[in-house]
Amino acid sequence: MHKRTVSHLLSAATVAAISLLAGCSTYGVKNPSGTGVTVLKADEQGTVAGTGIESQDIVAVTDKMARSILEIPQIANAATPPNIAVLPIENGTRFAINKEQMTTRLRARLVSQTRGKVVFLARDRMPALEKEQQLKQNGQLTSATDPRVVEFRGADYFLTGNLDGSSTRNSRGVSDYVLYTFKLIDVRTSAIVWEDLAEIKKQGLEDSAYR
C-alpha cells in the first residue's frame, strides 16, 4: 500500500513538473529571445504592415513621378534649366503623414537623375536666406557680389501634389485606396504642364477579438 501511494505521488509530481515546465515556458512569449535587427529595402513591405501610407508606397510613387516629369519637353528640351519651387502637398486621406518626406524624395530623385537639368529653389529656407542677405546688406557679413541686388530666383514652375483616399470597412476588415497626383504648374500662365498619378489599394483583415 505504501509503495503504491509513493508511486502515485511520484507520478503526480512528475506530471505536475512537466506541466509546469511545458505550460509556462512559452506562456505569453512568442519569441522569448527577441529578433535581431532586420535591414529591409525602403521599397520592400515588411512583416509589420497596415493599410496606410508606408515607405514602399512613397518610394514607388516618387520614382514613378520622377521618371514621368523627366520625359516632358519643358524639362527634357529646356534651353536653360527651369527653376522649380516645391509647394507642400495636400493630404486628403485618413492617414496623417510626413508630407515633406514625399516631396523631399521626389526632389532628390529629380536632382540626382537630371544632373542639373532642373534647379530647385529652397523656398522652405527663405527666412534663413533673407536673414543672411540682411546681414550682408548691413555689412556684418562679407559678400562676393553686391548684396543690395536681389538674386533670389523666381520660380518658373510650381511642383505640388495631392493625396486623396477612400476607405471601406466591413465586419472582417478594412480596405484603403490612395490616389497620388502630382502636377507641374507654369507660374507665368497657371497652365498645368504636367500631371501624373499613382494608385495604391490595400486591404487587411482584423482579428475578431478587436471587432
Q: Which of residues 156-195 bind other proteins (CB under 8 A)?
A: 167, 169-171, 173-174
Our CB check for other proteins shows the closer of 51 and 62 to be 51
Q: Binding to other proteins by residue 103, rule CB under 8 A?
A: no
Q: Which of residues 11-40 bind other proteins (CB under 8 A)?
A: 11-12, 15-16, 18-20, 22-24, 27-30
Our CB check for other proteins shows the closer of 118 and 185 to be 185
Amino acid at the residue 128: A
Judged by CB under 8 A, which of 95, 133, 181, 198 binds other proteins? 95
Q: Binding to other proteins by residue 207, rule CB under 8 A?
A: yes
Cα separation of 128 and 141, whole Å?
Answer: 14
* Contact predicate 103/88, CB 8 Å: yes
Residue listed under C-alpha cell 511545458: 22
Judged by CB under 8 A, which of 97, 135, 187, 200 binds other proteins? 97
Cα separation of 42 and 81, whole Å?
Answer: 30
Our CB check for other proteins shows the closer of 32 and 36 to be 32
Our CB check for other proteins shows the closer of 46 and 154 to be 46
CA dihedral 71, 72, 78, 80 (to 10 degrees): -80
> b or e along 136-154 (b: 16 or more beta carbons within 10 Å of the residue's beta carbon)?
beeeeeeeeeebeeeeeee
Our CB check for other proteins shows the closer of 109 and 183 to be 183
Residue listed under C-alpha cell 527663405: 126
Q: Binding to other proteins by residue 104, rule CB under 8 A?
A: no
- In the three-class reduction of DSSP (H, G, I as helix; E, B as strand; rest coil), residue 80 is classed as coil
Judged by CB under 8 A, which of 40, 42, 45, 50 binds other proteins? 50
Half-sphere exposure of 113 (CA within 13 A, CB side): 18
Residues near other proteins (CB under 8 A) are 4, 8-9, 11-12, 15-16, 18-20, 22-24, 27-30, 48-52, 90-97, 99, 167, 169-171, 173-174, 204-211
